[in-house]
């Protein structure tokens, strides 16, 4: 069988490929795509695989938009970091989902469900439930991530956003600092993280930092009308609110 992985987190995509091959080494992953735009182009120009793994939230939008722009003749197993209760609708109409970080037993169960529901002629027989996808889109108008997948040595971990004090850039890479004071690299640029996290809880104070309201220990007047933020688990570089962001930062604090 052939499968396609649509996922914009490199670590999550590689973990998924590894689990797929652990389940069945004969399954061929014919591509890894990280955006709605590239997915639409791929489905328009390529032979559709027996099934697709598809993350809900991609770099340029929701994966449901793919179905609005092109025909997908493959069953889809969705992957998502969203809360289980929010996405309970995925259990209907032979649509399945896996919560991140993907667990091998859950992936194997989804694959068994796929094989029991669809035969070898699935590409000719399968018709996606567009009405279902439309209903699901309404649930994800402005979704925010609940957790981030990170790599710790040889291990993959999922860090809830409630356990993140701040995101920061160091030597051109992006990291999170947890409430325990541990730092992990993430695959996203800071610009993208700013779109993914809840703006009620996180604020980008300058080019290098996005901070959590829960991590702010003190705020000190600084030179040139700027503000210095004292954070839990202080970073090596001072966290300074840039002058052009001070007004918005004060509004954010006063919500």
Residue 206 is part of which domain span?
A: 147-253
CA–CA dist 61, 93 (Å, integer): 24
Cβ atoms 212, 235 nearer than 8 A: no
Residues 159 and 195 placed together within one structural domain of the fold: yes
Residues 84 and 181 placed together within one structural domain of the fold: no
Residues 34 and 152 placed together within one structural domain of the fold: no
pTM exceeds 0.75, yes or no: no
pLDDT tens sequence across 159-193:
999 999 999 999 889 999 999 999 999 988 999 89
Residues 8 and 110 placed together within one structural domain of the fold: yes
pLDDT tens sequence across 12-61:
899 999 999 999 999 999 999 999 999 999 999 998 898 899 988 888 88
3-state secondary structure (DSSP) of residue 172 = coil
CA atoms within 13 A on the CB side of 158: 14
Residues 72 and 10 placed together within one structural domain of the fold: yes
CATH number of domain containing 15? 3.40.50.2300
Q: Where are the alpha helices (H) located in 25-178, listed in sequence order?
A: 36-45, 64-69, 104-117, 122-125, 130-139
Residues 135 and 155 placed together within one structural domain of the fold: no
């Amino acid at each position: 069988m052939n499968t396609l992985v649509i996922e914009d987190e490199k670590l999550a995509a590689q973990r998924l490929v590894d689990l797929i091959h652990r389940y069945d080494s004969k399954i061929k992953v014919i591509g890894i795509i990280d955006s709605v735009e590239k997915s639409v182009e791929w489905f328009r120009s390529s032979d559709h695989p027996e099934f697709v793994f598809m993350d809900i939230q991609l770099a340029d939008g929701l994966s449901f938009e793919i179905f609005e722009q092109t025909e997908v003749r493959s069953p889809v197993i969705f992957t998502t970091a969203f809360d289980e209760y929010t996405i309970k609708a995925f259990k209907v109409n032979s649509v399945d989902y896996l919560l991140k970080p993907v667990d091998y037993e859950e992936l194997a169960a989804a694959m068994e469900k796929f094989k029991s529901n669809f035969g070898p002629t699935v590409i000719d027989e399968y018709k996606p439930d567009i009405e279902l996808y439309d209903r699901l889109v309404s649930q994800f108008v402005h979704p925010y991530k609940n957790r981030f997948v990170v790599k710790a040595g040889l291990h993959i971990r999922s860090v809830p956003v409630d356990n993140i004090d701040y995101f920061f850039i160091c030597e051109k890479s992006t990291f999170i600092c947890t409430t325990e004071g541990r730092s992990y690299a993430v695959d996203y640029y800071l610009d993208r993280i700013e779109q993914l996290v809840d703006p009620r809880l996180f604020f980008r104070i300058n080019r290098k930092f996005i901070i959590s309201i829960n991590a702010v220990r003190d705020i000190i007047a600084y030179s040139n009308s700027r503000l210095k933020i004292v954070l839990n688990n202080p970073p090596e570089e001072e966290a300074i609110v840039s002058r052009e962001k001070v007004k918005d930062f004060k509004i954010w604090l006063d919500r």
